[in-house]
Amino acid sequence: MTIAPPDIGPARGENPAFRQLLVVAALIAAMTVLRVVYASVLDLRTDEAYYWTWSKQNVLSFLDHPPMIAWFIRLSTAIFGDTNFGVRFAGVLAMGVTQLLLADIVRRVTHDLRAMVIAVLMMEAALYYGLLMAKVAPDVALIPFAMAMVWALIRLAESDDARWWLAAGAFAGLSLLSKFTAVLLLPAVAAFMLVPRWRGRWLRSPYPWAAALIAFALFLPVLIWNMQHDWASFRFQLVRATAVHEWSLRTFGEFIGLQFGLVGLVLLPVVLKGVAMTAWRGYRRLDAVAILLSTAVAVPFLYFLWKSLSLRVGDTWPMFLWPIGFAAAAINLSMLRREGWGESPTRWFFGLAKLAIVSGIAFVVAVFLYSVAAPWNFIGRTDPVGAEAGYAQVVRRAEADLKKAGATWIATTDYRTYSMLRWFFRGRVPVVQINERGRYLGFREPDMDWIKGHNGLYVGRVPDNDPDNPLWASIPATREPLERVDRVWRGVVMDTYSLEKFTGWTPELSPPPDSPLFRWRVLAGNVRPWQVAAVRTSFRGTRSVSYDVHLHIGESRDSGSGPELVIGPRFARTRWDHPGMTGPKT
């Protein structure tokens, strides 16, 4: 698509569009206040607390993800303290930055104020962004950097200044420092460079190659950390991409349903139609901007669609692609009239976009009110808000039982429980996840003077405490049950925890890689409880250690969970595959 010349309109004070723009700005400000309230009031999710614990460490990277989200949280909590809003401020800020980039992309391509407003309001109307950007995840860090990379490439197409490649390379590197799924944007960049007629120029130019070097240099912290730890992050993430599963209409339906729910029942078809028309326009005319925008949405979306046929696709995984889709959809609306589609179809498309925005914003507000103000639980144990709320009840009982047991530290066997206990105790009591120590490579160890030779308190989900769990064969501690505590949200028991006096053993914080206390667990998919399968794959690290991957498919107690993978160095006849213990969401 050819970038349109600027329109010279009437003076600002005489322009009705300017007054409409003020109304839109007021609406965006109101939605921003809504996100701030949501970020401040709602309990942290377990993964958010997990990322908060990362922010307290001085390491180059982490097992689950690159370090950007930890850096974001460290900066925001330095400003606002260790509060809900302090942890989540980065998400609120990322939303605003992404909207500014989105508006500027549409403005530069169309010079159409209405299209620019529609693009920004589409983002407000999608639950993914209008509300849930207030929750921090690696995707929250990825979204503004991915959008900035696309913006830099559009500036390149607009100005024909090759130096914009360097900015694009920097933003690409920052995207990779945020989440590995940024690599799915590479086909769009390659198509932008190679499909239009300017391919020869860029193949001969040093600028695209310099951009690649900049991206590589910025990604070096992750590479260095992985070199030091047998490529742990890549093994952790590649399991999901390479594990073989039977096809499942259930996981496919879940993915489609999530996209309709999180993007919008009306908005999703509008965006997909806009992306499809942008792709047709771009590849037919060899238009670099249209090729970039459409491919940046189509390739990741089709990849996730394909993976959903056999794997549960995480709810946040596609978050980075839809803001680019909003740009494509808004630009497509602006192009309809210029291409002579006629008044009737053009009005129909614009009317559908307005319906998507109005209904979407109403839905976002309704979800906000349900999350922070409603006294009911309509969904039961699968409620996405309540599934990770109510930990304060467990913490209060743990505080009382610490005194009862004369304990000075807390042990747990689940990273979620570990993270929430760390969040609530804020360093007053050492908390140790005694298994899956591979998650904490390079972390500072707690003060062992509070642990060695002292009583501990075990806090674990039922049935993680089951003596028949093979994990406990590796832990020669004496456990004395004290009580069970229900985690309740709006009158519904969401989970039950066992609190036990824990004596006679000092945790090994840095076990060897062949220890069952080292290996981490990965959530690999979602299938029916009666299905059973096993997959075994070997990796070879830099220290010539052979890694086994066992896929155990069965019923998990976590909502949205499924088959589980146990990853670790090969060892003889030692396995722990307890279904109550699952791995992280990404």
For 548-565, the pLDDT digits (tens) are 333 332 233 333 333 333
What pLDDT, in 10s, does the model give residues 481-506? 999 999 999 999 999 999 999 999 99
Are the C-beta atoms of 550 and 562 separated by less than 8 Å? no
Q: What is the pLDDT of residue 580?
A: 33
Mean pLDDT of 156-181: 97
Asked if residue 233 has pLDDT above 50, the reply is yes
pTM of the prediction? 0.86
Give the chain's mean pLDDT: 87
Residue 297 phi, psi dihedral angles, 5° rounding: -95, -45
Query: Which residue type does 366 have?
Result: A
- With a cut of 70, say whether residue 543 has pLDDT above it: no
CB neighbour list of residue 228: distance below 8 Å, 6 or more residues apart? none
What burial letters (b/e) apply to 274-294, b meaning 16+ CB within 10 Å? bbbbbbebbbeeebbbbbbbb
Cα distances from 439 to residues 236, 411, 511, 561, in angstroms, run: 10, 15, 12, 20
Burial (Cβ within 10 Å: 0-12, 13-18, ≥19) of residue 13 = exposed
Q: Using one digit for the tens of pLDDT, what is the confidence trace for 191-213?
A: 999 999 999 999 999 999 999 99
- pLDDT at position 190 is 97
Q: What is the pLDDT of residues 268-326, one digit of tens each?
A: 999 999 999 999 999 999 999 999 999 999 999 999 999 999 889 999 999 999 999 99
- DSSP label at 44? P
Partners of residue 455 on adjacent β-strands: 407
CA distance 274 to 322: 12
Give the helix ranges, DSSP H, for 313-467: 322-338, 343-372, 391-405, 415-425
Q: Return the amino acid letter for 487.
A: R
DSSP state of 532: -
**What single-letter DSSP state applies at residue 332?**
H
Which pair of structure tokens corresponds to residue 107? 């403005």
**Residue 57 Rama label (left phi>0; alpha psi -120 to 50; beta):** beta
Cα(130)–Cα(429) distance, rounded to whole angstroms?
Answer: 37
Per-residue pLDDT at 538 exceeds 50: no
